[in-house]
Amino acid sequence: MEDQKIQKTELKKACVNCGAELTYKPGTTSISCEYCGHEETIDVDKNGFEELELYPFLKEMGSQRHSEEISMLHCKNCGADQHVEENYKSLHCVYCGQPLVLEDAYKENWILPGAVLPFQIDKNQSFTIFKKWVKGLWFAPNNLKKAALDPQFTKGLYLPYWTFDAQLYASYTGQRGEYYYVTKRVRNSNGKMVTKRVRKTRWYPASGEVSGFVDDTLIKASHQKTGRIPGKIASWDLKKLQPFNTGFLSGFVTEKYTIPLKDGHLHSKEAAKGIANTWCRRDIGGDTQRVLSMNMKLSEETFKHVLLPVYVSAYRYNGKEYNFYINGENGRISGTRPYSFWKIFFTVLAVLVAIGVIVVLSK
C-alpha cells in the first residue's frame, strides 16, 4: 500500500568554482566543497520556524499546498523509495545497501518540512562510534568490521516527525492512597515466630482539575522499512531545531513522511492522555494514586513537520539483513548484530578442553 512506502530525497548543490558537490558541515551553518574548500553560509531565518494551526491545515492537506515534485527511485531488494538528482552516477539504498537503477525513476509530490535539526556529528565521527561499538561485540563475524568501515553502506539520513503543541485541560476523579504499617507475628522459613512490619494503604476519595501547556509531543511520520528506529537513540534535543533550509540537507538523504498528519494527530492525543494522567496523579498526591475517570480537552493545537538526523549502516550476513543506527545529534548507537557460529563453537570447545585439563590434573 502507498502509506507503507519509504520515500527519501538526497539534495545536491554544485560548487560555483569547480562544480563538485557542496555538502553540509555538521555542527555549523555552512555548506562546503571538499575539493577546493569553497564555503557558503546557510541563510537561517532569524524569525524562527512557524507553529501551524492544526485544524485549518488538516482541511487543506488534500490540496498538496507547499509541495514540490521530485524524482523517486524504487529499491527492488527491500522496497524502499528514494530520490536522486540527475547528476548522480550511482547510489546505494540507504537501508539495504543495494544499487539503485537511475532509469527506474518516477515523479512524485511531497510537502516541504517546516524545521530541521541539523547533523551535529560528521561521517568520520560516526565511523569512530561504529568501530568502537563493533570492537566491543562478542562473537561478531570478521566481515562485520569491514561493513562498519565501508562508506558506501553508511548514510546520513533525516527522518520525518510530527510535533504537536496544545493547551491541555483535564478534570478527574480518583483516590489518594496513604501508607500505614501494622506489626504481625509470622513464621519464618526456619519455622520460628518473628515480628514483621506489613505495609497497608488507606484510600481517600479525590477529584480535581489540571491544566498546562504540552510542548513538542514527538510522533514519527514514516513507516521505516526496517521497523521502528530503536528507542535507545530516538531522542533529540528539539531546542536545536532550525527553520527549514535545503542547505542543511546537502549531502544527506531525506526520508519523506508516509504517516498522514491526521494519523500523527491521533497518536499525539494518546500521548497527551498519558501526560494528563501523570498530571492528575501528581495533583492527587499521597503515597500512591488511582485515577478512576478523566475528561481531557485540548485547545490551541499547533504542529510542525520536522526532520531529525540519524546515521544508518546496512549489512548482510548469511543472507540476513542487519541495520545499525547512530543519532546524528548526540552520537548514541544501537543496532542488531549477527553472531559468528565458528567463534562461538571454538570458544565453547576451548572452555571444554580447559575444563577437561583441570579435571585430569586434579586427579
The pLDDT tens digits for 201-229 are 999 999 999 999 999 999 988 875 545 67
* DSSP 8-state code for residue 84: -
Q: Which of 107, 155, 103 is nearest to 127 (CA)?
A: 155
Per-residue confidence (pLDDT) for residue 87, from 0 to 100: 41
Per-residue model confidence as pLDDT tens digits over 47-70: 777 787 788 777 765 444 455 565
Taking the C-alpha atoms of residue 123 and residue 331, their distance in angstroms, rounded to an integer, is 11
DSSP β-bridge partners for residue 170: 210, 296
The three-state secondary structure class of 353 is helix
The mean pLDDT of 296-321, rounded to a whole number, is 84
pLDDT of residue 300 exceeding 90: yes
How many Å apart are CA 262 and CA 61, to the nearest integer? 9
